[in-house]
Amino acid sequence: MKTLWRFAENQIGRLWLGVVYLFLYIPLFFLIVFSFNSTRQDGVFTGFSLRWYEALLADSRLVEGFFLSLKVALITGTLSVVLGSFAAFVLVRYLRFTGRTLFYGMVNAPLVMPEVIIGLSLLLLMVAVQRTVGWPDRGFITIVTGHTLLGMAYATVVIQSRLSEMDRSLEEAAMDLGCRPMQVFFLVTLPNIAPALVSAWLLTFTLSFDDVVISEFLSGPGVTTLPQVIFSYARRGVNPSIYAAATILIAVVSLGIITYSISVMRRQKRLDREISAAARPEQSFPDPARAR
C-alpha cells in the first residue's frame, strides 16, 4: 500500500511540477519568441525579424533609463550589503540591548510592507527635508535611499542566515591566537560569510534594477529608471522593443544563473570527494621520540 501511494505521489508530483513550471515560464517563452516577431501584433507570429532589437538600441529613453538603473542598482547593492551586514551582525551577536525588538521589527518590515506605503512615506520625508534644508532634490539620491531601505531588509535576511550558522569558536580561536576584534572580523569572519555577501549583493542589485513603485514616488524630472520607462510604455500599449529588452535580460540572467549553479555543484562535488578521501583509516598521534 505504501509503495502504491509512493508511485502515485511520484506521478502526481511530476505532473504538478511540470504544469506549474510551464505556468512560470510561459511569459518568458512569449517574450523571447515575440521579440523576433516581424510585426507589431501580439497574437500571431508573422515572421522572424530583428527590427525590435534595432528599435531598442535606437530608443534613447530606454537606453538612458538602462544606464541610470545600472548606476542606481550598483550603489544600492553595495550600500544595502554594508548596512545589511551591520544589521545582521547586531541581530546575531548582540542578544541583549534596549530596543532590540523594535530593531528586529524595523529591519524585517520592508520585506512585507506594500511598496506604495514605503514610497509615499519616504517621499513625504524627502519633501519635508527639502523644504527645511533645501536639499535633496528628488532624483538620483532619493531613489537610491528608497531602494536601499528595501534592499537592506533582504540583505540582512541573507547575511544573517549565514552568520548564525558560522562556528563561533573560529572567532574565539582567532582571539586566542592574538587577533584584536577588528582583525578577527576582517581575517576570519568576513572570509567565512563572503558567499552570503555576494548573494545579498546580487539580490539587492536585482531588486533595485527591477523596482517600479518606489522609483516612481521618489524620482524627479529627468531622472527616469528603466522600469519606469517600461511601465509608461506598458500603460500606453504594446511596444515590442520591450520584448527585445526582455529577451536580452533573460539571456543574461539565465546564463549567469546556470553558470553559477554549475560551478557551485562542481565545487560541492570536489569538496565531497576530498572529504571522503581524507577519512581513511585513522592514525593516532605519532611518537615524539621518533620525530627527533
Partner 1 sequence: MKIPSWLQFNPGRRFVIGVPYVWLLLFFVLPFLILLRISVTDMGSGVDPFAPLIESVSGSWHVLLRYGNYVSIFHDAGQGAASGWGNTIYMEAYKTSLKYALLTTASCLVIGYPFAYFIARSRPSIRPALLMLVMLPFWTSFLLRVYAWKGILADQGVLNNLLMALGIIDEPVVMLYTNVSMLVGMTYVYCPFMILPLYANLVKMDFRLLEAAHDLGASAWKAFWLVTVPLSKSGIIAGSMLVFIPSVGEFVIPSLLGGAENIMIGRVVWDEMFSSNNWPRAAALSVVMILLILVPLAFYYRANSDRGDGRER
Partner 2 sequence: MNLPASPGDGYLRTDQLVKRFDGVAAVDDVSLSIQKGEIFALLGSSGCGKSTLLRMLAGFEKPTSGSVILDGVDIASFPPYERPINMMFQSYALFPHLNIWDNIAFGLKREGMPKAEIEARVQEMLKLVQLEAFAKRKPHQLSGGQQQRVALARSLAKKPQLLLLDEPLGALDKKLRERTQFELVNILESVGVTCVMVTHDQEEAMAMASRIAVMSHGRVLQVGTPKEIYEHPNCRFVADFIGNVNLMEGELTLDEADRCEVTTGHGVVHVGHGISGTRGMSVAIAVRPEKIHISKTRPDVTVNLFNGKVREIAYFGSYNTFIVDMTGEGGHSRTIKITETNTTRHESSVITWDDPVFFWWDDAAPVVLTQ
Torsion, CA 109, CA 111, CA 114, CA 119, rounded to 10:
80
The CA distance from 4 to 11, in Å, is 11
User: Which positions from 61 to 90 touch partner 1 by CB under 8 A, shown as an x/- string?
Assistant: ----------------------x--xxxxx
The 8-class DSSP code of residue 175 comes to H
Least CB distance from residue 179 to partner 2, whole Å?
6
Please, where are the H alpha helices in the chain?
Answer: 2-35, 51-58, 60-93, 100-112, 115-133, 140-165, 168-176, 181-184, 190-210, 213-218, 226-236, 241-278, 288-291
Sign of CA dihedral 188, 192, 194, 196: negative
Residue 192 interacts, among partner 1, partner 2, none and using kind-specific CB cut-offs from 5 to 8 Å, with partner 2
Contact set for partner 1, span 203-222 (CB under 8 A): 206, 209-210, 212-213, 217
Q: Scanning residues 16 to 55, which ones bind partner 1 (CB under 8 A)? A: 16-17, 20-21, 23-28, 30-31, 34, 41-44
Determine, following the binding rule CB under 8 A, whether residue 286 of this chain makes contact with partner 2.
Answer: yes
Interface pick for partner 1 out of 39, 46, 121, 263 (rule CB under 8 A) = 121
Q: With binding defined as CB under 8 A, does residue 109 bind partner 1?
A: yes
By the 10 Å C-beta count (0-12 exposed, 13-18 middle, 19+ buried), 148 is classed as buried
CA 11 distance to own-chain centroid: 34
Is residue 282 a contact residue for partner 2 (CB under 8 A)?
yes
Q: In whole angstroms, how close is the CB of 58 to partner 1 at the nearest point? A: 19
Buried-exposed string 14-46: b where 16+ CB fall within 10 A, e elsewhere = eeeeeeeeeeeeeeeeebeebbbbeeeeeeeee
Confirm or reject binding of residue 198 to partner 2 (CB under 8 A): no
CB nearer partner 1, residue 99 or residue 288: 99
What lies within 8 Å, CB to CB, of 192 at 6+ separation is: 166, 170
Minimum Å distance from CB 162 to partner 1? 11
Q: Of 30 and 67, which has the nearer Cβ to partner 1?
A: 30
Q: Which stretch binds partner 2 (CB under 8 A): 3-11, 123-131, 249-257, 284-292?
A: 284-292
The three grid cell numbers given for residue 152, joined into one nine-digit string: 537592506
What is the per-residue binding string for partner 1 in 150-189, x denoting contact by CB under 8 A?
--x-------xx-xx---x------------xx-------
Spatial CA neighbour of 154 closest among 87, 249, 73, 74:
87
Question: Which residues of the shown chain bind partner 2 in the complex (CB under 8 A)?
Answer: 167, 169-170, 172-180, 183, 188, 191-192, 271, 274-275, 277-280, 282-289, 291
